Amino acid sequence: MAAEDQQTPLKDTPLEEVVPNVPPAEAVGKHAAAADEAVHAAVDQSAPAGEEATPAPQPKHAAPVEQPAPSAPEDTHDEPAAPEDTTQPQEPVNAPGRATIPVEGRAGADATCGKNAFISWGARSDVGLVRSHNEDSFLIRTPCFAVCDGMGGHAAGEVASSIAVETIGEKAPATADDTLLGAAIEAANQAVIKGAEEGRGKPGMGCTASAALIDGNRMAIAHVGDSRIYLLHAGTLVRVTRDHSYVEELVDAGQITADEARVHPSRSIITRALGSDPDMYADHFSIEVSNGDRVILCSDGLSSMVPDSEIESLAVSSATPQQAADNLVSAALTAGGADNITVIVVDVLNDGVAAAARKHSVGFALRVVVAMVLVAVVVFGGIFAFAKNEWYLGVDGDTVGIYQGIDGEVLGISLSNLVQTTAVEVSDLPANVATQLEHGGVRVDSEQEALSTVESYRTQIDAEKTKAAEKAAEVTAEGNPTGEAAPADGTQTTESGTDSGADSANGDTATTADTTGDTTQTNGGE
């Protein structure tokens, strides 16, 4: 969409007097065609055309939407949906009150725009108000962008810039490698020199070259001449390239200011350019960019007419890259348009940092999980390897069993297995041994030692049983099967069950009585 205000034309001077008549459009059209062949072959064809409908006809489309659609009264509740179906989205427009020269529909102009998931861009090139033809060329071959300002007069400067952008597009790297991007510009220098030798222009033709390649959060830059690359970050405009010009050297030396350099009579003297020196080299470096950054590439037709402060203001206030490019070209035309003007504006939509952070987090988490699994495998493997060499005696039902391993589980996996059962009853063992067998088992060093321990248990049990049997037999032999001790008076029970001691006592008494009786009788007999 054109970045213009059609309701605020220049009031003091007619537009025909502000914009001088340019020569017939044939020469300009030829340049545009040549640029299309050399440049726009590298432009992303899927991008929407830069020449969009101007804001003027939009109210015509919007007006019918405001009228209710003819329908029955009972269908009136569907009317609010009509604007959503027919209203076309409108891009932001410039604020009213600023008198500018419109850029739409001008002869010798070229524009294009587009976007993908990572960047969006807009570009415009204009012949200006003084020159008869446009010597600028620009390259849009995402993610590489370049501006070349031709030198050498009619039918030469535009040839040099066309050769340069064509070569840069072919040689540019796929990633933000500034060394390779600088090599592409140096190859373009050789191509321009060779083109002059082969008659594809004029001897002495040349051009500037400023290229930027955006890859994620890195931007590679290569630069020769006085075309410029700016970076708008957080609302502040920074010029990231240094002009290879005589006035720039004066500024660096402190002899003039940057504002004085814009109007200095020697501002067109360039100290380094493509097409003159086979040993020419390009400045190249890389910088970081982030979401929301805006990159501006331009020829000196903008920077020599519009101060950096106004470039910053227009770049900040423009909603879209195409609108920013249009506004900057319009500002240069309004300031006089003394040279060809070419502007490319690129917005960084997704620098890939968040995705890289997520990927790094996922990768880190996976590495942690893998490390934990490896540690667990090592630990569990060590535990199982250790358990394999361990033996213990434990309870197997009611008897003693021989186990290999450790009495316990890991993640529900038993660390031991029953190797052999025995006939040794746990109940026959001493209480302390039985308790130990039931709670953790009795550790032994080997299976053989386990067998020996079980045999010792069996021997002890048999010995205890034998001893108990012998004691029982002894008690039985003594006539006391119950195992009770004999009475202290030594009395014994007879077979009839009467107390022999009592009988004996009674007998003695009887005898005594009989004896007495006998005595009596005897005495009486005597």
Residue 208: band (very low, low, confident or very high) from pLDDT cuts 50, 70, 90: very high
Residue 155 neighbours by CB under 8 Å, 6+ apart: 201, 202
DSSP assignments along 470-487, one per residue:
HHHHHHHHTT-TT-PPPP
* pLDDT per residue as tens digits for the range 52-98: 433 333 333 333 333 344 444 444 444 455 555 556 666 666 666 56
| Range scoring the smallest mean pLDDT among 42-46, 254-258, 480-484 | 42-46
| Amino acid 420: pLDDT | 82
Mean pLDDT for the chain overall = 77
- Mapping DSSP onto H, E and C, the string for 372-431 reads HHHHHHHHHHHHHHHHHCCEEEEEECCEEEEEEEEEEEECCEEEEEEEEEEEEEHHHCCH
Closest CA to 50 of 38, 62, 60, 40: 40
| Amino acid 154: pLDDT | 66
pTM confidence score: 0.59
For range 102-125, the mean pLDDT: 94
| Amino acid 497: pLDDT | 43
- What is the C-alpha separation between 289 and 295, in angstroms, rounded? 9
| Amino acid 12: pLDDT | 39
Closest CA to 44 of 118, 149, 127, 136: 118
DSSP assignments along 24-78, one per residue:
PHHHHHHHHHHHHHHTGGGS-TTSPBS-PPPSTTHHHHHHHHHSPPP--GGGGGG
| Range scoring the smallest mean pLDDT among 9-23, 83-97, 106-120, 174-188 | 9-23
Residue 233 neighbours by CB under 8 Å, 6+ apart: 289, 290, 293
Helix (H, G, I), strand (E, B) or coil at 221: strand
The half-sphere exposure of 125 on its side-chain side, counting CA atoms within 13 A, is 27
How many other CB atoms are found less than 10 A from the CB of residue 26?
Answer: 7
How many other CB atoms are found less than 10 A from the CB of residue 304?
Answer: 24
- What is the C-alpha separation between 57 and 241, in angstroms, rounded? 41
| Amino acid 91: pLDDT | 61
Answer yes or no: is pLDDT of 322 > 90.
Answer: yes
Helix (H, G, I), strand (E, B) or coil at 194: helix
* pLDDT per residue as tens digits for the range 394-445: 888 888 888 887 777 777 788 788 888 887 888 888 888 888 888 878 888 8
Answer yes or no: is pLDDT of 363 > 90.
Answer: no
99 or 10: which carries more pLDDT confidence? Answer: 99
For range 334-338, the mean pLDDT: 95
- What is the C-alpha separation between 171 and 209, in angstroms, rounded? 14
Counting residues of the chain whose pLDDT is more than 90, the rounded percentage is: 42
CB 333 within 8 A of CB 126: yes
Query: For residue 386, what are its two tokens?
Result: 């250790």
- Please state the φ and ψ torsions of residue 94, each to the nearest 5 degrees: -70, 150
How many other CB atoms are found less than 10 A from the CB of residue 266?
Answer: 10
| Residue 433 vs residues 208, 259, 417, 454, 468: alpha-carbon distances, Å | 98, 102, 21, 12, 20
